[in-house]
Amino acid sequence: MTYTKYSASGNDFVIFHTFKEEDFSSDAVKLCNRTEGIGADGFVALVPSSEADFKWLFYNSDGSHAAMCGNATRAVAHYAYNNGLASPSMKFLTEAGLIESAVDGNIVETQMTEPVLIKETFEQEGLTWYLIDTGVPHLVTLVDDLNSYDHDLCAKMRYEHNANVNFAKVEENGIKVRTYERGVEGETLACGTGMVACFLRANELGLVENSSLLYPKSNEELTVSKIGGKLYFKGAVKKVFTATI
């Protein structure tokens, strides 16, 4: 099989396409392993779809399924276009619904799924939290110092609320974010759906306009915009290498 590794803002993925839909969870565990495999946060198989240009099967590095991943949508769109699976403007099916993406060189913009508020703000562990589904569930807390990010606290909150956990700081030039992701069970360099969740919280509080720059731990610059009630997530992606195994 031939696989391609992509990086999107520090989130990395192993991507391939096939004509047969099956369970690739064991492949995800094997290939996402950073010492004995290719190494990645997630694994994506692209398969045919009668409803869209293609359908994706997304797996976390531990083999578990995830309905949606913002950075992966951008990497997959770039892969699909460059492998002749779709035009620069495409639609593909995920467990979270139909995704629309547009490829312009190495810049990819995705229209995100409609967010669903799960829980109004609440206090826990001395912090104020906000729980929203932006494709997958995300806990968001706004802090004055991102060094207050606490791995053990994130792990506790993740299991208690079955959600990814985000610490965000609003600055003059945008929003800086640190994210603990389910399935990886640790902090990643970036999380697209998490950045969208942080943007929504800051926007709701009037701390940012309807378009804002965001900076994950990788410090790459991304943009989240709210236009006509729809959310758009834009940034660069990088094809790292292709390997035959």
Active site (catalytic) residues:
69, 191
Tokens standing for residue 114: 């409609």
CA distance 215 to 33: 26
Quick check: 61 and 27 in contact, CB under 8 A? no
Closest CA to 43 of 16, 83, 7: 16
Residue 90, H or E segment: strand 89-94
Closest CA to 9 of 110, 149, 143: 110
Q: Please tell me the total number of residues recorded for the chain in this structure.
A: 245
Tokens standing for residue 200: 């929504």
| Burial track 2-11 (b if 16+ CB lie within 10 A, e otherwise) | ebbbbbbbbb
Q: Compute how many other C-beta atoms are within 10 angstroms of the C-beta atom of residue 192.
A: 29
| Burial track 47-57 (b if 16+ CB lie within 10 A, e otherwise) | beeeebbbbbb
